[in-house]
Amino acid sequence: MSRLDSHIRRLEAQRACLDTAIALIGGAVGPVLELGLGNGRTYDHLRQNMPGRAIFVFERILAAHPTSIPDPPFLILGDFRETLPGALQRLGAPAVLAHADFGSGNAAATAAVAEWLGLSLPMLLAPGAVVACDQTLVIPGAAALSLPAGVAEGRYHLWQMPG
Residue 10 binds ligand SAM (CB under 6 A):
no
d(CA 155, CA 41): 18
- C-alpha angle 66-35-136 in degrees, rounded to nearest 5: 135
Residues in 20-39 that interact with ligand SAM by CB under 6 A: 36-39
Pick 29 or 123: Cβ nearer ligand SAM = 123
| Cα 7 from chain centre | 18
Decide if 158 contacts 132 (C-beta within 8 A): yes
Residues in 77-96 that interact with ligand SAM by CB under 6 A: 79-80
Number of residues that bind ligand SAM (CB under 6 A): 16
Q: Which stretch binds ligand SAM (CB under 6 A): 25-33, 57-65, 85-93, 146-154?
A: 57-65
Interacting residue with ligand SAM among 59, 125, 137, 161 (CB under 6 A) = 59
Closest CA to 14 of 103, 129, 108: 103
For residues 109 to 128, the per-residue mask of contacts with ligand SAM, x marking binding by CB under 6 A and - elsewhere, is ----x---------------
Residue 61 binds ligand SAM (CB under 6 A):
yes
d(CA 100, CA 116): 13
β-bridge partners, 100: 35, 133
